[in-house]
Amino acid sequence: MRKKPLVGVTADRTMMGAHPSHATGEKYIAAIVDGSEALALLLPALGAKQATEDVLAAVDGLLFTGAYSNVEPHHYGGETSVPGTLHDPARDATTLPLMRAAIDAGVPVLAICRGFQEMNVVFGGTLHQSVHAVEGFNDHRENKDDALDVQYGPSHSIRLSQGGLLSRLAGGALEARVNSLHGQGVERLGDGLVVEAVAPDGLIEAISVKDAPAFALGLQWHPEWKQADDPLSNAIFRAFGAACRDRMRTRAGLDAALAAAARR
């Protein structure tokens, strides 16, 4: 039996020179390895070429990462994207069916930024394509001219839902400060999702899946950035890692029981 759980980390399909490639940010991998104390496995965006059941049989948890691309709006009945919007149809074809299947199967899921938006879409929700252009909402985008530590530094407060998963991870606190690096956001909440936190302007910042058989949390901000330096971020990755270890041990026990039965 492995000593550490194996977490699948979603990748984007992108061009590296003339070659289609699959990549993800090191910050996500570092947060899984250091914060969740798990092994990280990069999952290429192969769509139907990569059977969902094979992935779920191999991993103890899944991290759905952020990305520069946005979910194609036809997946949630949205209007055509503004010209120049970056999309990744290979990622959509991979992550959307994988996320729902993983949650239904009791595989722990942590979804960040684009992953958070994917979670809402998977459960039938819709997205604002340009939050800053919607009356009543603030501009949640980062200034790309700033240094990374400034871009990923605390930007605004969030109000945590009393008694919710996120509040429990925060030791019962009802407020936290988070970074903000997104242009899109939740418009209509998906069916079966629970609001875990909102921004001061009312935009949903965190969600969980009601009655999910395992850990299933989505966050609009980026807790992976230097997660060890922030108590809430650290608690999130620790809890996710614990859920993945629980699944690893359960699977090992089932495999051992099946093997013993086969020897009889």
Q: Which helix (H) or strand (E) holds 196?
A: strand 193-198
Residues whose CB falls within 8 Å of the CB of residue 1, separated by 6 or more in sequence, listed in order: 248, 252
Distance of CA 59 to the CA centre of its chain: 15
Taking the C-alpha atoms of residue 139 and residue 203, their distance in angstroms, rounded to an integer, is 11
Q: Which of 22, 140, 182, 222 is catalytic?
A: 222
Taking the C-alpha atoms of residue 128 and residue 182, their distance in angstroms, rounded to an integer, is 11
**Is 113 an active-site residue?**
yes
Q: Tokens for 128?
A: 């604002």
Distance of CA 259 to the CA centre of its chain: 34
Q: Compute how many other C-beta atoms are within 10 angstroms of the C-beta atom of residue 99.
A: 26
Taking the C-alpha atoms of residue 192 and residue 215, their distance in angstroms, rounded to an integer, is 14
Q: Which of 22, 72, 113, 118 is catalytic?
A: 113
Contact, 70 vs 114, CB < 8 A? yes
> What are the distances in angstroms from CA 74 to CA 10, 70, 78, 89, 124?
21, 11, 6, 11, 12
Q: Which of 22, 205, 224, 244 is catalytic?
A: 224
Partnered with residue 45 across adjacent β-strands are none
**Is 135 an active-site residue?**
no
Q: Tokens for 62?
A: 């899944």
Taking the C-alpha atoms of residue 115 and residue 96, their distance in angstroms, rounded to an integer, is 9
> Where in the sequence numbering do the catalytic residues fall?
113, 222, 224
